[in-house]
Amino acid sequence: GNRENAQPLDFEVAEVSSGGFKGRWKNRSSKDWNEIEFMASGIINYKIVFPGGNGAGNSFWHCVPLGTHRCRLMMKTYLNTSNKMIKFLFKVMPTWMRRLQSCVNLEQDVGLITSQEDYIAKTGGELKDHFLPISTSDRLVVEYRKWLDRVGHGIPFYTGWATHKAPPVDMTQFTVGPWGTGPNHRSQISRYHRHVKNNKVSRDGLGVVVKAKWFFVITAVVAWCAALLSRIVPAKWIGFVSQGLVAGTSMQICGLSLFAVAFFMSLEAEFHVNYQRHPFNHPWQKEA
């Protein structure tokens, strides 16, 4: 990620109750506060102010439990800005591209969260005994864990700050390690299997990207064949167009098409490959 974004933040928490809590945060270099509200049992209302007085954004996150270590996360985003460039970018950006970016936001933290759960499950300890929160970055996370401590008696299983209730599965099967060690860890499920195949907009977006890739593959092959044939067939068969012009134009089209193929292959990978904070530091990758 961008190192400039990893700066100390100021937090304030208010209106804490069994129904949730409200808080706000801001960069220390900014005067604008961003608001966040957590509502039981899994709804987050997030309001952010754009720098330079360019308006504000609002997003609602709905987390629906599906079972042990499984949930469905739904998000709705709103914009309130007079900045024409922000409006233009928001309109022209495909919906599936915004959803892939939302996947990145989730994947940035899922390794840490699952490794904490695994550690607590195997050791039987509590988060407060094993993890040192940073007040300038972890304040709201700790507040949520403390909220689980207060309401955990009515939840089948949870991991709070000072208490926890184990899920009804054998957690010893999971390996304790940083960022979800091992290719089969639940945090390493591919973006395609976790999101794309379950979301029609993203599936359709992947279909468009794949079709575009193969269109340019065929175009490159046809252009290469045209350039080759222009050197083989007699000049009189080509007509008034010179062989050199046909060959040169065909090779240019072939080169541009190959560039487009590489671009769409890279874009296609975004539908499958997870964000990796340290892509070359996983022990299982070193062993491979």
Over residues 230-262, the pLDDT tens digits come to 777 665 555 555 667 778 888 999 999 999 999
How would DSSP label each residue in 83-123?
Answer: -HHHHHHHHHS-HHHHHHHHHHHHHHHHHHHHHHHHHHHHH
Amino acid at 145: R
| pLDDT given at position 287 | 38
pLDDT: is 2 or 165 the higher one?
165
Over residues 57-95, the pLDDT tens digits come to 888 899 888 877 778 888 888 888 777 887 888 888 898
| pLDDT given at position 143 | 93
How would DSSP label each residue in 24-59?
Answer: EEEETT-SPPEEEEEETTTEEEEEEEPGGG--EEEE
- The highest-confidence range among 6-10, 107-111, 151-155, by mean pLDDT, is 151-155
Q: Is the pLDDT of residue 282 over 50?
A: no
Q: Is the dihedral of CA 233, 239, 240, 245 positive or negative?
A: negative
What average pLDDT does range 123-130 have in this prediction?
Answer: 84
Give the Cα separation of 217 and 221 in Å (integer): 6
Q: Is the dihedral of CA 99, 104, 109, 110 positive or negative?
A: positive
Give the Cα separation of 179 and 54 in Å (integer): 36
| pLDDT given at position 281 | 47
Q: Which two tokens stand for residue 187?
A: 């945090």
Residue with tokens 């290719």: 183
Give the Cα separation of 276 and 262 in Å (integer): 21
Among 60-74, 173-187, 221-235, the minimum mean pLDDT is found in: 173-187
Among 157-166, 222-231, 233-242, 272-281, the minimum mean pLDDT is found in: 233-242
Which among 108, 152, 155 is positioned nearest to 126, based on CA atoms?
A: 152
pLDDT range class, residue 179, cuts 50, 70, 90:
very low
| pLDDT given at position 208 | 95
| pLDDT given at position 221 | 95
Q: Which residues contact 27 (CB under 8 A, 6 or more apart)?
A: 7, 9, 10
| pLDDT given at position 255 | 94
- The highest-confidence range among 25-39, 100-114, 211-225, 241-255, by mean pLDDT, is 211-225
Beta bridge partners of 25: 11, 34
What average pLDDT does range 4-15 have in this prediction?
Answer: 82
| pLDDT given at position 177 | 47
Mean pLDDT over all residues of the chain? 81
Over residues 188-209, the pLDDT tens digits come to 778 898 889 989 999 999 999 9
